Structure 1
Amino acid sequence: MRRLKIFITNKQTIIGLCILSVLLVFAIFAPVISPGDPLFSKGAPIQRPNKEHIFGTDNMGRDVWAMIVWGSRISMVFAFGAAGISLIIGVVLGALSGYIGGVFDDIMSRIFEVFYIIPRTFLIILMVAIFGSSVTLMVIIVGATIWPSNAKIMRAQVLTLKSRTYVQAAEVAGGKRLSILFRHVVPNGIGPVLSNSTLQMAQAVLTEASLSFLGLGDPSVASWGKILQAGQSHISSAPWLVIIPGIVIALMLLAFNLLGTALQMTLNIKQQLIE
């Protein structure tokens, strides 16, 4: 409870949660906030912000406000979906690698390194080009390529914790190794992994925006990257097409980074108290 209070009262946590809450409201209540299809042309192309279109329109007459609101839903799906997949894969493989050790640990460590060596952006683009650009598939692809950092952090935590007295006592008492690992070791070492996962949420959002900007996003959904793509050739005549989505993306990245930093600071305080 003390750690939770420290985390919640942190100024970075408060700012991050406020920004994230607004974007979550957009994502959850998009059909209410902006009814209709956001990809449907609702006005003349390249209109400046006005009473009818508060963020103006893009080169196809689509309302930028509607695309911002509905785009928040896609960004949230990527943030929590890809980071969730990365968290599960990273925790399981990293924990098994550190706890089992020996040859298995050596093999898994080499696998982690291979994934680090492969250019992640190129791999994601290649996979999307081969298998398609549906939101679900893209979330899985992104999550399946960013997990090695979680695995390495979890492995390091397990290597430190598996020699603790309570773990050895559980082993002496005849507990099954997997049960000991996931009931006693992982819960006590998952904090830094969760902190890293918040940063991966920001990474997933940026990846989705980049893919959409390159024209590799799902064509059936609204995305902040699509607004940037539409604005790249009109940056001098319609700067709002670049500025507005750029600010929104920056705010979401800021929110996740603030939460990750606050969580890491809380974990550091906990470690200092233990020492």
Structure 2
Amino acid sequence: MRSSTPASAISSVPAVPEPAAPARRPRFGLWRRFRRNRAALFGLAVTTAFVIVGVFAPLLAPYGQLDMAASFQPPGREHVFGTDSLGTDVFSNVIYGTRVSLLVGLFSVLTSTAIGITIGAAAGFFSGRVDTLLMRLTEMFQVLPQFFLAIVIVAIFGASVWSIILIIGVLNWPATARLLRAEFLALREREFVEAARALGMSNFDLIVREILPNALPPIIVNATLQVSGAILLEASLSFLGLGDPNAMSWGIMLHNAQDFFNRAWWMAAFPGFALFLTTLGVNLMGDGLNDALNPKTQSR
């Protein structure tokens, strides 16, 4: 007698679930999207090269002493970039100027970003009167003529590398604050924030652990782009004679060269080109970061 399995028994056997398919990785990661942009790669290479030069300036600079007998020598085999009015090697000065200019650009932007994040996060998270008060403060700083105000402050309190860093940082935070406020206003009502709030997470933890990490990408791009502006502002102040005379920067070199444009063109040409190339590289890198971090460009 042939046995048969009842249909009811077959239907009662639980179906074995199929293994879940692994989550698909994004088609292009951040680095893959970034390296597709050749201009951004060029900017990254230029910026990295200048950072290396600044870090290892004492090892790379071939000359350091004054030699009045060698003043105004044109570019040649012994002095690749020529010498200035005091006989110092322009190539060595450009190398040391890289360190000062990048130091001002980096730390002034870190200062302005820290201030902007604090004010923008508070305004966007708490809204209401706090938002109104902080945004009026931000608007007041935005309408101030920053360059002329920087000139006045430096002229009153004196010029040093760290005072210039502080002045640029204090005057340059409003853009970061407004950008972060907009990000917080968009993120504070999202589901993950509401879930964390329902679990009893404090406001500080909500800001620092939940919202801020998701709002950082545009802040990183903005900070990168602000570095070039800070370098240019320091160079402008130094060119006007308001820089730190004890620190060799590209702006100081341009200031020292302004009386010798016709006699020694190289005194201004090489630091000016270094300034141009650095700001170009930083801006191209910032634009590349913006494209890589912007979700709208991922499908391109």
TM (norm. structure 1) is 0.93
Q: Aligned match of 1:5 in 27, 32, 51?
A: 32
Instruction: Note the 1:38-49 alignment, pairs <5 A.
Output: 40-41=66-67, 43-49=69-75
The answer (yes or no) to whether the contact 1:43–1:63 under 8 Å persists in 2 is no
State the distance in 2 between where 1:108 and 1:147 align.
12
How many residue pairs match? The answer is: 272
* DSSP-derived class of the 1:47 partner: coil
The one of 18, 24, 27 aligned to 2:51: 24
- Per-residue deviation at 1:256? 0.8
Q: Partners in 2 of 1:8 and 1:236 — Cα distance?
A: 43
1:234 to 245, 252, 260: 260
One-letter code of the match for 2:136?
R
Residue type at the aligned position of 1:4: W
Relative to structure 1, the CA distance from residue 154 to residue 42 in structure 2 (aligned partners, 3 Å threshold; closer, same or farther) is farther
Contact conserved, 1:95 with 1:151, CA < 8 A, in 2?
A: yes
Q: Does 1:14 align with 2:38?
A: no
Q: CA deviation at 1:267?
A: 2.3
Say what the alpha-carbon RMSD is for the aligned residues: 1.8
Describe how 1:166-185 pairs up with structure 2 within 5 A: 166-185=192-211
Question: For the structure 1 residues 235 and 130, does the alpha-carbon distance in structure 2 shift closer, same or farther, using more than 3 Å as the test?
Answer: same
Unaligned runs of at least 5 residues, structure 2? 1-25
Instruction: Report the TM-score when normalising by structure 2.
Output: 0.86
State which structure, 1 or 2, has the greater radius of gyration over its C-alpha atoms: 2
- What amino acid is aligned across from residue 31 of structure 1 in structure 2? P
Q: Paired residue for 1:68, among 94, 103, 106?
A: 94
- Segments of structure 1 that go 5 or more residues without pairing to the other structure are none
> For residues 108-129 of structure 1, what are the alpha-carbon distances to aligned partners after superposition, in whole Å with 9 as ceiling and x for unaligned?
0000000011110111112212
8 A contact 2:64–2:88 mirrored in 1: no
Q: Residues 152 and 201 (structure 1 numbering): CA distance in 2 closer, same or farther, change over 3 Å?
A: same
Identity of matched residues, %: 36
1:9 Cα offset (Å): 4.3
Deviation at 1:57, TM superposition (A): 1.2
- Which of 157, 160, 165 is 1:139 aligned to? 165
Note if 1:34 corresponds to 2:61: yes
Equivalents in 2 of 1:272, 1:164: separation in Å? 23
Q: SS of the residue aligned with 1:75?
A: helix
Q: 1:37: how far off?
A: 3.9
1:4–1:188 distance in 2 versus 1, CA, 3 Å: farther
**1:36 to partner: Cα distance:** 5.8
* Letter paired with 2:120: G
